[in-house]
Amino acid sequence: MQSLKAALEGEGDEVSKTRARVILGEYYVMKGDFAQAKEYLGPVAQDTERLRDQYDDLLDDEICRADMLLDMIERFGFLAE
């Protein structure tokens, strides 16, 4: 976890940072910490079009996973309350 968080803070490439955000978001969804998960997944969802345009299919799996996880949070978030 520390390595993934450190990758987001450093001067890394955008592909690695996007992948780290999705992995961290998925981790927090599985732990039931939906607020923390949204912090990592939100930027990916907000930047979907640009990421797809700029990186073609390279980040398609990560973008789809982020969308799916955010949808799960929206549908089942009430269970964590």
Condensed to tens digits (0 to 9), the pLDDT of residues 22-71 reads 999 999 999 999 999 999 999 999 999 999 999 988 999 999 999 999 99
The pTM assigned to this predicted structure is: 0.90
Domain edges within the chain: 2-80
Q: Residue 7 and residue 21: Cα distance in Å, rounded?
A: 9
User: Tokens in use for 6?
Assistant: 């450190």
Residue 38 pLDDT: 96
Measured CA to CA in angstroms, residue 54 lies from 5, 47, 49 at distances of: 23, 11, 8
Helix locations, the chain, DSSP H: 2-9, 14-31, 34-46, 48-55, 60-76
Measured CA to CA in angstroms, residue 10 lies from 7, 16, 78, 81 at distances of: 5, 11, 35, 34
* Res. 81 pLDDT band, cuts 50 70 90: low
